Amino acid sequence: MSKENNDLVEGFNAGYMIEQHRPELASQLVQSLGHESNKGKEPFTEGFIKGNEESLKERQITKSKSISKLKSFGKDRIPKPTRSKDRGKDGKGFEIDR
């Protein structure tokens, strides 16, 4: 592997790992490295930014899947409250159907 490709891979891995463990720091680094004056100059910088982006994409996908799973998990299991027939009309007779 050439030096340039090696730097690109190292940058990608560094960006990915820092985003996983220290997202605030990764965001600050990407902002400083992503400045127009730095673009296209260093393979490590390019790899770092791409690794950070990949980690963010994976986190968003995982988050979406988790939310979907949680939403679908409880739909059939949550009992709905209904007004009890043996209580008065004052509205205080709610029970949970099972």
Tens-digit pLDDT profile for residues 16-69: 999 999 999 999 999 988 766 566 678 999 999 999 999 999 998 888 888 887
Q: Report residue 66 as tokens.
A: 């988790």
Task: State the Cα–Cα distance between residues 96 and 89, nearest whole angstrom.
Answer: 17
3-state SS, residue 81: strand
- The residue count for the chain: 98
pTM of the model: 0.63
Radius of gyration of the CA atoms of the chain, in A: 26
Phi, psi for residue 29 in degrees, rounded to 5:
-65, -40
The pLDDT value given to residue 2 = 87
Q: Which one of 22-26, 70-74, 86-90 scores highest in mean pLDDT?
A: 22-26
Q: Residue 85: left if φ>0, alpha if ψ -120 to 50, beta else—which one?
A: alpha
The pLDDT value given to residue 82 = 64
| Mean pLDDT calculated for residue range 70-86 | 65
